């Protein structure tokens, strides 16, 4: 079986974990937590980092820290993970979905501008699958209307937009350290900001909103702390991020070479005018003229022991949101990508021989269907 993801854990991960165990510092108060926070600040040029238990909780705390709530609207792409919309909904606010670009798979800036109303409080930018959102027009819209930008950079560790680090935009940025990310802690996340008051509020929300007297609370927060054990793995991973980025691009470029010329497949862009693809995953999309579904192709690949995963399912089509968060705008790109997009094995431990095997299997399955 060639799994869809296998992480690389052959650096200092074991050494740092042993340090945690030998020292007894396994909780969130251990030194590796602050080391990971400082490392992510250096990576993104941010001033403050707040490590949390996962990327979804990073979004929850970010929305709550900005006092977004009932009556507020937050514009976001419909093609994203449900964590983005869930954070807004749980705060009592309304997600307003916009369609994505059919080539970059990221939210369209022109539709963001059209979606702004008097109730709009924020724009949640989500960088998808390895390419960043075109940030300049988004930032211009936010400034024009006095809106806050929340940047979900979960999939773009080390990526840049016009040379500026992803994770450096907006009032708050969030990352995920899930095992399929460029940097993993197993489970984990990070919130980043340049605002000291906002950062302190995020720290408080992360830690049950303890006051000066420990068990006195004026607000409800979360127990969203990251353990020293998780952070130790993340510190070791972050040490090798530049190496990992090189390998990810090698994987993406090799897949592109091997699958180029398959007329039924749309391949990811290798680069845009503002960024080179970091290939968090290597996604492919069946073109509209293909009569079978991605589900069928994925099933046939599974029979050949090739792991795959579908693209995100659009938020406006989620059963949990049925009839609640609609828009007058159509979402043809997101609907096609959600139905016909899937990604191939893309983990850092993937070998070139395995990529050859996967590409050959994809070509053969496509030819047969």
Cβ proximity of 156 and 17 under 8 Å: no
pLDDT of residue 327: 65
- How many CB atoms are located within 10 Å of the residue 254 CB? 16
Q: One digit per residue, pLDDT tens: the chain, 369 residues?
A: 999 999 999 999 999 999 999 999 999 999 999 999 999 999 999 999 999 999 999 999 999 999 999 999 999 999 999 999 999 999 999 999 999 999 999 999 999 999 999 999 999 999 999 999 999 999 999 999 999 999 999 999 999 999 999 999 999 999 999 999 999 999 999 999 999 999 999 999 999 999 878 898 989 999 999 999 999 999 999 999 999 999 999 999 999 999 999 999 999 999 999 999 999 999 999 999 999 999 999 999 999 999 999 999 999 999 999 878 766 578 999 999 999 999 999 999 999 999 999 999 999 999 999
94 forms bridges with which residues in the sheet? 73
In sequence order, the 6+-apart residues with CB closer than 8 A to the CB of 97 are 76, 77, 78, 85, 314, 315, 316, 325, 327, 331
- Predicted local confidence at residue 328, as pLDDT: 57
Which residues are CB-neighbours of 198 under 8 A, at least 6 positions away?
Answer: 65, 66, 171, 172
CA 45, 48, 52, 58 torsion-angle sign: negative
Residue-level pLDDT at 247: 98
Query: What is each CA distance from 171 to 62, 151, 164, 198, 315, in whole angstroms?
Result: 9, 8, 15, 8, 24
Identify the pLDDT of residue 335. 96
* pLDDT score at 277: 98
pTM (2 decimals)? 0.96
Which two three-digit tokens encode residue 87?
Answer: 């954070």
Sign of the alpha-carbon dihedral angle for 210, 215, 217, 221: positive
Kindly report the CATH number that applies to the domain delimited by 241-368: 3.90.1150.10
Which pLDDT score is estimated for 196?
A: 98
The tokens for 249 are 């691009």
* pLDDT attached to residue 330: 84
Pairing between β-strand 73-77 and β-strand 265-266 as defined by DSSP bridges? unpaired
- Enter the CATH code of domain 13-238: 3.40.640.10
Task: Tell me whether the CATH fold assigned to 13-238 matches the one assigned to 241-368.
Answer: no
Domain residue spans in the chain?
13-238, 241-368
Quote the CA–CA distance of 220 and 205 in Å, as a whole number: 7
**How many other CB atoms are found less than 10 A from the CB of residue 288?**
10
**Dist CA 329 CA 116 (whole Å):** 13
Per-residue pLDDT at 212: 78
Which DSSP symbol is given to 306? B
């Amino acid at each position: 079986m060639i799994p869809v993801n296998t992480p690389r854990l052959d650096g200092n991960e074991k050494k740092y974990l042993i340090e945690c165990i030998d020292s007894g510092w396994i909780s969130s108060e251990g030194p590796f937590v602050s080391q990971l926070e400082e490392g992510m600040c250096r990576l993104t040029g941010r001033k403050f980092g707040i490590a949390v238990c996962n990327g979804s909780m990073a979004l929850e705390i970010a929305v709550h820290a900005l006092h977004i709530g009932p009556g507020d609207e937050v514009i976001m792409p419909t093609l994203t993970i449900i964590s983005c919309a869930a954070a807004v909904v749980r705060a009592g606010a309304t997600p307003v979905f916009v369609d994505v670009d059919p080539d970059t798979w990221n939210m369209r800036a022109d539709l963001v501008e059209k979606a702004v109303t008097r109730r709009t409080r924020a724009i949640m930018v989500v960088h998808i699958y390895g390419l960043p959102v075109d940030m300049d027009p988004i930032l211009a819209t936010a400034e024009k209307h006095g809106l806050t930008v929340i940047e979900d950079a979960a999939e773009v560790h080390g990526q840049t937009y016009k040379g500026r680090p992803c994770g450096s935009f907006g009032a708050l940025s969030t990352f995920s350290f899930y095992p399929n990310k460029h940097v993993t802690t197993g489970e984990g996340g990070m919130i980043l900001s340049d605002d000291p008051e906002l950062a302190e509020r995020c720290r408080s929300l992360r830690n049950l909103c303890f006051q000066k007297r420990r068990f006195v609370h004026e607000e409800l927060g979360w127990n969203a702390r990251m353990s020293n054990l998780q952070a130790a793995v993340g510190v070791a991973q972050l040490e090798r991020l530049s190496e990992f980025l090189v390998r990810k691009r090698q994987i993406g470029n090799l897949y592109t070479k091997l699958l180029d010329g398959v007329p039924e497949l749309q391949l990811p862009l290798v680069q845009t005018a503002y960024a080179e693809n970091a290939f968090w995953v290597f996604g492919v999309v069946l073109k509209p003229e293909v009569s079978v579904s991605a589900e069928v192709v994925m099933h046939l690949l599974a029979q050949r022991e090739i792991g795959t995963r579908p693209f995100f399912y659009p938020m406006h089509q989620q059963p949990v949101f049925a009839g609640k968060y609609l828009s007058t705008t159509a979402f043809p790109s997101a609907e096609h990508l959600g139905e016909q997009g899937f990604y191939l094995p893309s983990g850092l431990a993937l070998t070139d021989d395995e990529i050859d095997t996967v590409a050959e299997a994809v070509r053969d399955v496509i030819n047969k269907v």
